[in-house]
Amino acid sequence: MPSSASFRTFVMDQLSRIVSEVRARSMFGGFGIYAGDVFFALIANDTLYFKVDDSNRPDFEKLGMKPFQPYGEGSEAMKYYAVPEDLLEDPDALRPWAEKSIAVAAKQKKGKRIRK
């Protein structure tokens, strides 16, 4: 099921309060979310997912959040985890989660540039 424009608008409104240069781009029925040129989040099926690695994944797992599986349950999981809904309602609570995900994505982007 594709993501709705109203959910994207809500998420972008919340993120624009705490992330500079945030923008969304349509992709595969959902939306990719960028902070400047760093791709740190995505929206699929009206769920917001943040980029994770070993530094922030435990925060999501501790709350029972699941990884993004683009082809459904049982398919390969991507390194994006669902953001708890209650965080979306509170930009101040969402801020550290977004900042950590931006840092993870920026670190991985930098690593990709070095490998080339």
> What is the share, in percent, of the chain residues with pLDDT greater than 90?
73
* Selection from 28-32, 33-37, 76-80 with the highest mean pLDDT: 33-37
For residues 75-86, average pLDDT: 91
Question: Poorest-confidence range of 8-12, 25-29, 98-102?
Answer: 25-29
Residue ranges of the domains in the chain? 5-115
Residue 108 reports pLDDT greater than 50: yes
Residue 21 reports pLDDT greater than 70: yes
Other beta carbons less than 10 A from residue 58's beta carbon: 10
Q: Are 24 and 13 in contact (CB under 8 A)?
A: no
Indicate left, alpha or beta for 111 from its phi (over 0: left) and psi (-120 to 50: alpha).
alpha
Residue 104 reports pLDDT greater than 60: yes
Q: Which residue has the higher pLDDT, 60 or 28?
A: 60
Quote the distance between the C-alpha of residue 38 and its chain's center: 11
Write the CATH number of the domain with boundaries 5-115.
3.30.1460.30
> Rounded to 10 degrees, what is the CA torsion of 11, 71, 99, 90?
40
In sequence order, the β-bridge partners of residue 82 are: 49
